[in-house]
Chains A and B, each alone.
Chain A
Amino acid sequence: MAFLKINNIAIQGVAACVPPKVEENKDLPFYAPGEAEQVIEATGIERRHVATEEITASDLCYRAAEELLSQLGWERDSIDLLAFVTQCPDYINLPNSFVVHEKLGLREDTMCVDYYHGCPGWVVGLSSVTSMVSSGVSIKRALLLDGDTCSKMQYANDREEKPLFGDAGTATAIEFVEGSSPLYFNIGTKSEDARALTKKVGGFRNPYTVASLKHELDMRSGLNSDFASTGKMDGMDVFSFAITKVPKSMKKLCSEFDVNIEEVDNLILHQANKLIIESIAKRMKVSLDHVPSSLKDYGNTTSVSVPLTMVVDRKNQLENAKQKNLACAFGTGLAWGAVYFETNRIVVPEVIIY
């Protein structure tokens, strides 16, 4: 059972950056009259920020990191660890943490590490980074960057996925502070259902051929809409996974560590869609006032959605009061990560438009 309790960690700030281009769901070309409104009602997603070709996840995270460091007043030389969570790296063989390490001008002895993870990525990255920082031996300050530009691999005529996904990058500042209230984690995996969210072609198991690459590019541009060889998200399996495993994981976490769900200020859920979020909140018996959202204007931003939602919908509370937070992210794997963490007046810049 993957439970973690991590001491001496303070989350000191969170920043987010999104690309400027906005795609409106009501303008998607494949809907019959009235259909877009139904989809918007069920998903809660009206529009999404999407990255144009020249903007990558590392660009968005770099901008978020710069702003966060400046508002925190952290010297670059004080960063001991730089971690990057993404499934959209700039390059095939250079992890994104190195790309940003150079741009930020960090020390040579700053540790760099990437986590290749889907939607639960921020929570999983946080568990790993805070574990390394908590010993306090030499790593005192860490930046956890988390960015994705999944809209770039969406298919133009995928009626199920196209209205969901948006792009964003975030930076989370983590510091060794003795005596901080502990972070609690529960992380799990249901790999038997991985098929529901797997992109099979283009990796090293099924490298692109001339034909499959052409097919992929035609699917993205909308010239082709034959999903037989590309596979599709299994929305029903993802939904049934999310509404059953996610509440159970959070309830287990609460009972293992004596967290009183009634005292939680913010239940920050992965922004899959409105139907999933409301179903989970109902099963947790938490009123929607305590469930922040970034769905309406940003959509499902994969692993980025938990930190982005903190910035979009809880900036004031996080900046001005102590907050008890329970977050759970879930998806690709199929996997999930739940974390309980308290914050004490942290730095949260306004969402940055790249």
Chain B
Amino acid sequence: MELKDFIEKFAEQFDDTDASEIKGDTVFKELDEWSSLIALSVIAMVDEEYDITIKGDDIRNSTTVEDLFNAVKAKA
């Protein structure tokens, strides 16, 4: 599992946010477009792409995209 690949897939969940704005150290909950709906599509993406089930706490306890990547990786 690669961080770069995860960031790309994470960025695909946004419609109006340019992918170049999203990096490993991006505090994703501060993005204008971040919403509970995007959180759900991130959960769905992780299930689909990595066959890993993350829960609400994994998102709540992550600050940056890399934090979330590490949470997903820990469950692999």
Contact = CB atoms under 8 A, between A and B. Distances in A.
Q: Do A and B come from one complex?
A: yes
A237 interface: yes
A251 to B, nearest CB: 14
B40 A239 contact: yes
A346 B62 CA distance: 51
Contact of B56 (A234, A244, A279, A283): A234
Contacts of B71: none
B22 interface: no
Contacts of B37: 38, 42, 275
A240 interface: yes
Q: What is the size category of the interface that chain A forms with chain B? A: 10 to 19
Nearest to B53: A244
A42 B36 CA distance: 11
A235 interface: yes
A210 interface: no
Interface string B33-76: 00011011101100110000111110100000000000000000
A156 B55 CA distance: 27
Contacts of A132: none
Contacts, number: 38
A66 to B, nearest CB: 41
Contacts of A283: 48
Contacts of B54: 240
Contacts of A42: 37
Contacts of B53: 240, 244
Interface string A158-182: 0010000000000000000000000
Nearest to B36: A235
Contacts of B47: 240, 243-244
B56 to A, nearest CB: 3
Q: What is the size category of the interface that chain B forms with chain A? A: 10 to 19
Contacts of A196: 56
A211 interface: no
Contacts of A275: 37, 40-41
Contacts of B59: 236
Nearest to B40: A239
B55 A237 contact: yes
Nearest to A193: B55
B44 to A, nearest CB: 5
B36 A240 contact: no
B68 to A, nearest CB: 12
A239 B53 CA distance: 10
Contacts of A237: 55-57
B56 A236 contact: yes
B55 A160 contact: no
Interface in A223-254: 234-237, 239-240, 243-244
Contacts of A236: 36, 39-40, 43, 55-56, 59
A234 B39 CA distance: 12
Nearest to B51: A244
A236 B53 CA distance: 11
Contacts of B39: 236
Contact of B44 (A193, A234, A235, A243): A243
In the A-B complex, the 10 residue pairs with the closest CB atoms: A236-B56, A237-B56, A240-B43, A244-B53, A239-B40, A234-B56, A237-B55, A42-B37, A240-B55, A279-B44
6 contacts: A38-B37, A235-B36, A236-B39, A237-B55, A237-B57, A243-B44
